[in-house]
Structure 1
Amino acid sequence: MKYPETKESVEVELTKTLISYRPVTSTEINSCMDYCSKWLQEHGLVVEVLENKGLKIIVANLPNNCKDLPKVILNGHIDVVPGGENVFKPKIENGKLFGRGSYDMLGAVATMMIVMSDLTKKDSLKYNVSLVLVPDEEKGGQDGTKFLVDNGYLGDFVICGEPTNYDISIQSKGVLQVEITVKGKSAHASRPWLGENAIEKAMDTYKKIKSLKCFEETNAFFSEKSFNLSTINGGSVINQVPDECSFELDIRLLPDQSVEEIFNLIKSEVPNIKISLLRRGEPVMVDENNIFLNRLKTIANKVTKGDIRFIGQYGTADTRFYSEYGVAAVEFGPVGAGHHGPDEFVYVQSLNDYRKILNEFILN
C-alpha cells in the first residue's frame, strides 16, 4: 500500500513523543505511562493508574460514559523491544514515520489516545468506551492485560491496536510450550553398547511427537503448522555416552484444538518420559457474524477504500486474555512494516485514517 507525502499531524507528534521515551525497561515504561496519564487528563479523560509488580497500567474513561451501554475497549501496549539508540530517534521520510514502536504499536496507541480526546467533545455516544494502556505485551502480557481482565476490567468488544495493515485478526493460535527430559545410561564412548544414549533417545522422542496427526491439521486461516524444536541440551564431554538430554518445543495450535487435550496426548504418546509444561496460552476465535466486528470492517473499508480481510495470526497478542473470558477481541492496526527490526515504520496517512475509522466506529 502506498501513501503520499503528508504534513505532520497530531498523531505523528504524539507517536514521536512516545518513541522518544524508549519504553523498554520498567523505569522507562513507567515514565512513558506518567506522560500518557498526564496527557489524557489534560484532554478531559478520567484516568485510573494501577500498578502491578512495579509496572503502571492506565485505564482511561470518558467523563460521559454510561454503564448501561455496550462497552468497547481500546487496548494498546506501551512497551517495545530493545534496540540501538538510533531507532528511538523518530524521523519522517517519504510519508513514513520511522522509529522503534512506530508500527508495533506506539502509533496505534497515540491515535487511540487522540480518539479518546475526540470523544470527550461528543454527546450521546452509543458505547461506553475505555482505553487501557499496558506495560508488558512484548514479554507476555501477564502483568498488564491479564491482570486487568482477572480483576474484572472487561467489555463487549476489544480492539488491540497490533500491526495488521487494516486487516482484522479474528483468530490466533493457541500456545503450548513444553520441556521434555529423557534419561539414558552413561558409559565410555569407546563402548557405547554398554550405555544408553539419551540424545538419541531424545531425538526418537521428538520425531514421535512431531509425527502426531493433530499437528498436520490446517484451516482457512492457517495453512502452515507451527511446531518448533527450540532448544536442546545434552551431554557433557565428548568421550562419554550422555545419560540425560532435554529439549523444548514451542507448539502453536489451531483455535479449535484444546491445549490441555494435546498436552495429554503428547504424554500418552511417550509414556515414562518427563514432560514439563512451561507455558500455555488459549487461542482466539471471534465469531465472523459478530455485529461489532462487521461494523468495524464496513467502516474500515469505507475510510480506506480498500478490501479489508479477516485474517488469523500465527503468534499471540493480549486478545487471548479477553478470549478466556468470552469477550470478542480483535487485532486491528495501521499500515507499516518492519516491526522489531531496524527500519520499522508506519505510514503517516494510515495513522490519520486509523483515527477516522475508530471515531466513526464508535460514533455510528
Structure 2
Amino acid sequence: MVSKSGEVKQLDYCKPMESSKEIELTKTLIKYKAVKPNEINSCMDFCSAWLQEHGMNVEVLENEGLKIIVANLPNKNKSLPKVILNGHIDVVPGGEGVFQPRIEDGKLYGRGSYDMLGAVATMMLVMSDLTKRDNLKYNVSLVLVPDEEKGGENGSKFLVENGYLADFVICGEPTNYNISIQAKGVLQLKITVKGRSAHASRPWQGDNAIEKAMEVYRKIKNLPCFQETNTFFPKESFNLSTIIGGGVINQVPDVCSFDLDIRLLPEQNPEEIYNLIKSEVQGAEITLLKMGVPVLVDEDNIFVNQLKTIANKVTKKDIHFIGQYGTADTRFYSEYGVSAVEFGPAGAGHHGPDEFVYVQSLINYRKILNDFLLHSRRETL
C-alpha cells in the first residue's frame, strides 16, 4: 500500500514481468542518457518520430538550443475542456551503469525510470491509445520538455508564456500514485553584511562582519512567517545554504555573505515575504536570486477528484492528496491560474544509483490516465 507520505509499503506488482510496451519504451528512453543538450535533443527526435508514427500531430519547438514537443491528437476537439500531460525527458547525471536498464523482481532499474521516463513512456502510449478512440471527454495534448531538472525555464515556462495552457495539467512526477495538489513556493536570497577590518588581537577596533551576519540570519529565521505550517507541510523549510566570510585567521572580517533557500507555504506570497525581509533587516544588502510561486489546487477541484476516484479503483489503494516540499513544472501553470498536479507511478530512489519504477505501476498508470481521459464526467465541469 501507499502511505500518506507517499512511501511504498509493499511491492507494487503481481508477478515479475520481462517485457511490455511500457517497459520497452522506458528502456529506450533511459538509454538516450538525456543529460547534455545534444543527448536531450536526440531523445526528443526519437519521441517526435515515435509520436508521429503512432498518429499524433507533432509540433517541435526550440528554445535556447533545446527541443520541446507538443503532440496533439488528430481528432482534436477544441470545444472540449483541455488537459495537458506534461513530462520531462531530461535526467540527472550518473555513472554509465545507471543508463543500462534492467528488470529485477518486477522493478525496472535505470536513471530516470522513476523520475520520470517511465511516466513519459506511459503518457506516449496513452496518446497512442487515444488516437483509436472517438469518445474523448477532453482535448488532450502531450508536452515533453527538456530541462525540468535544471529549473524548467526553457521548457514549461517558455510554453506557458507562449499560450500553451489548459484547464487541467498532469505532470508525471514520481508520487507513488498520490496526487500532489500543493507545492511550496521558493524564495532564494543572498545577504551581504559589511563590517570593518582590524587585527584579530584587537577585535574591538574592528566590526566583525561574520558576527553581524549571524545576527541578521537569526532575525530573518525567527520571523513569525517562517514558523508557520499547514496540514500538508508540518515542517518549515528554511535553509542556510552557503556562507562566505573572512580571509585569514588573524584578521577581523570586513564582509560576510550567506545564501538562504526558503520554501514558502502555498498560502504565503513570495513577493510579500521578500518585502517583509527587506523592511525588517537594516544595514544589510539583500539580493533576490530566485522567486517561484507556490502551487495550490483546491481539494474540491472536479478534475483531481475524478482522477483520485479512478486511481483508487485501478490500484485498489487509498490514494491521498499530498504536498511537495520541492518544486516542479506545475508552478509555471499555477502562475497562470491553471490547476496543475503532480501524479506519477510508484517506485523509489530517484536521482540515486538504485532508482527504479515498479513495472506494474506503469501498467496501472496507463489504465488510470486512459480511464480518466475517456470516462470522466465532463458534464459536471
Using the size of structure 2 for normalisation, the TM-score is 0.95
Matched, 1:256 2:267: yes
1:345 to 352, 356, 371: 356
Q: Is 1:302 aligned to 2:313, yes or no?
A: yes
Which of 192, 199, 206 aligns to 1:181? It is 192
Offset at residue 86 of structure 1 (A): 0.2
Aligned to 2:93: 82
* CA distance in structure 2 between the partners assigned to 1:68 and 1:287 by the alignment: 24
In 1: Cα distance, 2:70 partner to 2:32 partner: 20
Aligned-partner Cα distance in 2 for 1:328–1:40: 26
The 5 A counterparts of 1:135-150 are 135-150=146-161
Question: Aligned partners of 1:125 and 1:168: how far apart in 2?
Answer: 23
Shift of 1:7: 3.9
Specify the SS of the correspondent of 1:248. strand
**1:13-71 alpha-carbon deviations (Å, 9 max, x no partner):** 00000000000001100000000000000000000000000000000000001111100
Report how far residue 5 of structure 1 moved.
1.3
Separation in 2 of the partners of 1:9 and 1:348?
A: 9
User: Does residue 241 of structure 2 align to residue 244 of structure 1?
Assistant: no
Is the partner of 1:80 in helix, strand or coil?
Answer: coil
Match of 1:30 in 2: 41
Which SS does the other structure have where 2:240 is aligned?
strand
2:338 to 324, 327, 334: 327
What are the superposed Cα offsets for residues 184-226 of structure 1, whole Å, 9 maximum, x if unpaired? 0001111111000000100111011111111110111000000
What is the DSSP-based 3-state SS (H/G/I as helix, E as strand, rest coil) of the residue aligned with 2:80? coil
User: 1:64-121 deviations in whole A, cap 9, x for unaligned?
Assistant: 0111110000000000000000000000000000000000000000000000000000
Structure 2 unaligned runs (5+)? 1-9, 376-381
Q: Distance in 2 between matches of 1:209 and 1:269?
A: 8
Three-state SS of the structure 1 residue aligned to 2:47 is helix
Identity among equivalent positions (%) equals 77
Q: State how far apart, in whole Å, the 2-side matches of 1:346 and 1:194 are.
A: 61
Q: Where does residue 96 of structure 1 map in the other structure?
A: 107
Q: Is this contact kept in 1: 2:193–2:283, CA < 8 A? A: no
Give a deviation string over 1:289-319, Cα, whole Å, max 9, x none.
1111110000000000000000000000000
Equivalent residue letter for 2:61? L
Distance 1:40 1:331 in 2: 23
Structure 2 residue corresponding to 1:357, chosen from 368, 371, 379: 368
Report how many residues are paired: 364
2:125 counterpart of 1:114: yes
Q: Where do 1:156-171 residues align within 5 Å?
A: 156-171=167-182
AA in 1 matched with 2:178: D
- Mapped to 2, the partners of 1:279 and 1:219 lie a distance apart of 23
Code of the aligned partner of 2:241: S
Aligned letter for 1:288? E
Cα RMSD, aligned residues only: 0.6
Question: Aligned AA for 1:287?
Answer: D
Partner of 1:318: 329
Q: Does 1:12 find its partner at 2:27?
A: no
Which of 72, 76, 88 is 1:61 aligned to?
A: 72
Distance of aligned partners of 1:139 and 1:114 in 2 relative to their CA distance in 1, 3 Å threshold: same
* Rounded Cα–Cα distance in structure 1 between residues aligned with 2:245 and 2:50: 53
Q: Secondary structure at the match of 2:74?
A: coil
Residue of structure 1 equivalent to 2:139: 128
Q: CA deviation at 1:272?
A: 2.4
* SS of equivalent to 2:192: strand
Structure 1 consecutive aligned stretches of length 4 or more whose deviation exceeds 2 Å: none
Structure 1 gaps of 5+ residues are none
Give the 3-state SS of the residue equivalent to 1:79 in structure 2.
coil
User: SS of the counterpart of 1:178?
Assistant: strand
Residue 246 of structure 2 aligns with an amino acid whose one-letter code is G
Offset from partner CA, 1:216-260 (integer Å, 9 cap, x none)? 101110000000000000111111110000000000000010101
Q: What is the rounded CA distance, in whole Å, between the counterparts of 2:344 and 2:257 in structure 1?
A: 39
Amino acid aligned to 2:287: S
> Shift of residue 126 of structure 1?
1.3
The equivalent of 1:277 in structure 2 is 288
Q: Which of 43, 56, 59 pairs up with 1:45?
A: 56
Secondary structure of the residue that 1:219 maps to in structure 2? coil
Query: Within 1, Cα distance between the matches of 2:164 and 2:282?
Result: 42
